[in-house]
Structure 1
Amino acid sequence: MVKELIINSTPNGVTIALLQDKQLVELNKEQVNNNYAVGDIYLGRIKKIMPGLNAAFVDVGYEKDAFLHYLDLGPQVQTLLKLTKVARNGNFNDYLLSNFKKENDIDKAGKISTVLTKNTLLPVQIAKEPISTKGPRLSSDLSIAGRFVVLVPFSDVISISKKIKSNTERTRLRKIVEGIKPKNFGVIIRTVSEKKGVAEIQKDILDLVSKWESFMKKLPTTEPSKRILGEMGRASTILRDILNADFTHVHVNDPAIYEEVKSYVHEISPEMEKIVKLYKGKEPIFEHFGIEKQIKGSFGKTVNLAGGAYLVVEHTEALHVIDVNSGNRTANPENQEENALQVNKEAAKEIARQLRLRDMGGIVVIDFIDMHKAPNRKELFDFLKAEMNHDRAKHTILPPSKFGLVQITRQRVRPEMNIVTSEKCPTCDGTGEIKASIVLLDDIESNLDYILNEQAEKGITLCVHPYIEAFIKKGLFSKQFKWFFKYNQWVKVKAISSYHLTEFHFLSSKEEEIKL
């Protein structure tokens, strides 16, 4: 399996596409100034205690108060409260907690009103980003994730990923971590630690301890509801979690992000630094790698499959429903049961990709084509489980019911990815009224005259739909050639296939859009 990461930076944020064997399987968007990413730690102020919910609402600076349930406080929340109070009241420099006395664990079946009170200051970590009308979901059971391990303060427990099956390897990793980890810190050993050496794991733990020290130094002076410690950028986070020998290329179109990613890859896996490439092509990076077309074809209500079958994806407030339709598939007209199995397996593979691609969470109900034989239903269930093994989000799959329904619960920590695949009508621009296309060139030339004569811009680029680009460049004495004689400078014309017919934009010599 060959993996590639394509990173597209725009003024509005960064979009990261993960390809497996050239097929788009994950799409992540990181908005400019995204201050509520999973893993960020804030100094929260308790705004309201809700005994009926056994939860509290916390001010972390978001427009809606964040939600903190009693079960998300963590067993050592009393120690965290004590540490926060001591650190903010005086000169505290025992950053590694070597002499700091821990409090007793809280009762698992206790009440939040016995632990927290209104206006209490408490460091909290974003567990779920703001979704829809809800504010962030919080946890005060703090942890700092690295490439090979996760550091957990106020604990001495060493946990090992269940995906590491070998008892010999589990024992080896446990002994390594026992000799490295500082007192009063627990460690969760991640799956990627398997077969890694002492030096790599030690460096990871030291980096995480350094981040904890940074958190401790900022804790006394951070204003309430402000961020204390931020998670790294989304691109680096994805690389931290999934970078392995299968990766062949990481393409980036922004020099600053290129340097950041290259530096991070050099830090965690120096031998793979060469796979990070700075894209300098003239066409947009997503169009160059065929991602734009895949995005348009993969999102939307209907998803077509290669064999002629298709999926219908519907979203409700409480769950997602996916219906599998055989379409015009007639692979084996003599055996409907075999046909149903083949269509269902093809659909299962695409559904596993769609869940990752759209980051659909919560409850997902899939209506597969009915199959009457129990062995076929089991084969489909096993096939779907195998395809879902590539999904990093926690999920549970129930076997097909007698009605052919499969239920999946999938962890949701970020807003679902929603891409608009329909385009505005090129004639009416969505208004239902026709705009005379004969004046389009007049609009372009009017804006061009203003930019070149009034604003005195140089080296501009006109971005238009491919049809309009062909018209402007048509013939020996084309519109583009006439502009050259009129303005004494060459105006570049670039075709952008994602534009609707009458859309156009001007870019400066620095590739920044000129606002009109």
Structure 2
Amino acid sequence: MVKELIINSTPNGVTIALLQDKQLVELNTEHINNNYAVGDIYLGKIKKIMPGLNAAFVDVGYEKDAFLHYLDLGPQVQSLIKLTKIVKNGSYKDKLLNSFKLEQDINKSGKISEVLSRNMLLPVQIAKEPISTKGPRLSSDLSIAGRFVVLVPFSDAISISKKIRSNTERSRLKKIVESIKPKHFGVIIRTVSEGKGVAELQKDLLDLIAKWENFSVKLPLTEPSKKVLGEMGRTSTILRDILNPDFTNIHVDDPAIFEDIRSYVHEISPDLERIVKLYKNTKEPIFDHFGVEKQIKTSFGKTVNLAGGAYLVVEHTEALHVIDVNSGNRTASKENQEDNALQVNMEAAREIARQLRLRDMGGIVVIDFIDMHKPQNRKELFDYLKEQMALDRAKHTILPPSKFGLVQITRQRVRPEMNIVTNEKCPACNGTGEIKASIVLMDDIQNNLKYILTEQNEKNITLCVHPYIGAYIKKGIFSRQWHWFLKYGKWIKVKEASSYHLTEFHFLNSRDEEIKL
């Protein structure tokens, strides 16, 4: 399986597309000011204790108070509360926990009012980003994730991923970590640690210990509801979690991000540094060049067409997502109905597994497959769906098909669902039902250009337009571009974007930022 990452930088942030065998399977957006990313640690202030919910509402600076349930406190929350108090008082100077005395674990079935009180300060970690009308979901069971291991303070336990099945390898990894981990810190050994040497594991663990020391230094200086320790950017997080020798290319269109990614990849996996490549084609956007933009337009939306003629209908409600499988023109097949239903369902299962990852759909998902009467066919479909979903990094549970042919999936949701509107406004009328005379398009462009060059005195202007308009502007020996150059003494670059509608145009300055008109 050939894997590629295509990274598109925009003024608002970074969009990351994961391709497997040229097919888009994941799309992630990292905004510049994403202050509530999963893994960020804040110094929370308890605002309300809700005994009925056995939970608390915590101020972390978001417009709505964040939610912290008793079960998310972590067994060693009393140790965290104690450390926070003595660090804030300035009476604890050790950056680690060598001289710290751990408190007793809290009762698993206890009450939150026995542990927390109003206005108490407590470091909390974002477990789920703000979604819809809800604030962030929190946990005070802190952990700091690295590429090979996860550091867990106030614990001495060493846990190993269940996906590492070799007892010899498990024993080897445990011995390595036991010899290098600090006192009162637990470690979770991740799947990618399998086969790694002492030096790699030690370097990863030392990086995490350095982060904890940074946390210890910043904690006494941090104001309530402010961030103490931030998770690395979304791009680096994805690379940390999924980068492996299967990757063939990482294409980036921004020189600064390219350097950051190359240095990060060199740090975590030097042999893969060569696959990080800077995309230099300024005439065509990176997503257009690699076919990502077209796949986005065809993969999102209410109806998703499958190669064999069948299609999916995806509906969203507040409580769940519903996916209906339709055979479409496959009903004309000469095969018998049962075999035809199995083929359509298998094709749909593969696409549904991709859609869940692509849209990052979470919560409850109900799939209405085409009815099949043979038990062996239903089992075959169920096994195939589990096999396809095994590629999904989000935690999920799949129930076997019910007697009505429904399959239920619960999938972990920690970020807002990726929702891209694929329906566009009419390029001619802009949704009004009335059109502007197309003959004045070039006049509009020229008037705006004149204003930008003469009134705003901008330099190094780029005009972004639909390819048809771009071809018209560049046409001929004495083209529009040459006409503008002779008139204004400045060469106007023309950049074509197939995602634009016919009469859409934008001007960019020398920093590739849109000039607002």
Q: What per-residue deviation string (whole Å, max 9, x for no partner) do you get for residues 401-432 of structure 1?
A: 11111000000000000011111101111223
1:122 is aligned to 122
**Which amino acid in the other structure matches residue 199 of structure 1?**
A
1:248 is aligned to 248
5 Å matches for 1:138-149? Answer: 138-149=138-149
5 Å matches for 1:66-465? Answer: 66-282=66-282, 283-329=284-330, 332-465=333-466
User: 2: CA distance between counterparts of 1:146 and 1:483?
Assistant: 54
Look up the SS of the partner of 1:329 in the other structure: helix
**Which amino acid in the other structure matches residue 299 of structure 1?**
F
User: 1: CA distance between counterparts of 2:74 and 2:382?
Assistant: 36
Q: What per-residue deviation string (whole Å, max 9, x for no partner) do you get for residues 416-468 of structure 1?
A: 00011111101111223322222222211111111222233333221112222
User: 1: CA distance between counterparts of 2:108 and 2:161?
Assistant: 24
User: 1: CA distance between counterparts of 2:338 and 2:507?
Assistant: 57
Q: Displacement, 1:332?
A: 4.3
Q: Displacement, 1:331?
A: 7.6
Question: Larger deviation: 358-367 or 331-340?
Answer: 331-340
The reply on whether 1:514 has 2:515 as its aligned counterpart is yes
TM-score (norm. length: structure 1)? 0.98
Q: What per-residue deviation string (whole Å, max 9, x for no partner) do you get for residues 332-380 of structure 1?
A: 4231111111111111000000000000000000011111100000000
User: Residues 213 and 331 of structure 1: is their aligned pair in 2 closer, same or farther, counting only changes over 3 Å?
Assistant: farther
Look up the SS of the partner of 1:277 in the other structure: strand
Q: Displacement, 1:476?
A: 4.3
**C-alpha contact 1:42 1:124 (8 A) present in aligned 2:** yes
User: 1: CA distance between counterparts of 2:435 and 2:271?
Assistant: 58
RMSD: 1.3
Q: What per-residue deviation string (whole Å, max 9, x for no partner) do you get for residues 173-198 of structure 1?
A: 11111111111011111111111111
Look up the SS of the partner of 2:420 in the other structure: coil
Q: Which runs of 5+ in 1 are unaligned?
A: none
User: Residues 506 and 353 of structure 1: is their aligned pair in 2 closer, same or farther, counting only changes over 3 Å?
Assistant: same
Q: Displacement, 1:477?
A: 4.1
User: 2: CA distance between counterparts of 1:474 and 1:258?
Assistant: 34
User: 2: CA distance between counterparts of 1:259 and 1:91?
Assistant: 42
Q: Displacement, 1:479?
A: 3.1
**Which amino acid in the other structure matches residue 458 of structure 2?**
E
User: 1: CA distance between counterparts of 2:203 and 2:493?
Assistant: 50
Look up the SS of the partner of 2:106 in the other structure: coil
Q: Which runs of 5+ in 2 are unaligned?
A: none
Q: What per-residue deviation string (whole Å, max 9, x for no partner) do you get for residues 70-95 of structure 1?
A: 00000010110000000000242222
User: 1: CA distance between counterparts of 2:358 and 2:447?
Assistant: 42
Aligned length: 516
Question: Larger deviation: 157-166 or 57-66?
Answer: 157-166
User: 1: CA distance between counterparts of 2:335 and 2:292?
Assistant: 39
User: 1: CA distance between counterparts of 2:438 and 2:3?
Assistant: 44
**C-alpha contact 1:464 1:495 (8 A) present in aligned 2:** yes
TM-score (norm. length: structure 2)? 0.98
Give the % identical residues.
82
User: 2: CA distance between counterparts of 1:156 and 1:83?
Assistant: 17
User: 2: CA distance between counterparts of 1:453 and 1:414?
Assistant: 45
**Which amino acid in the other structure matches residue 514 of structure 2?**
E
Look up the SS of the partner of 1:214 in the other structure: helix
1:484 is aligned to 485
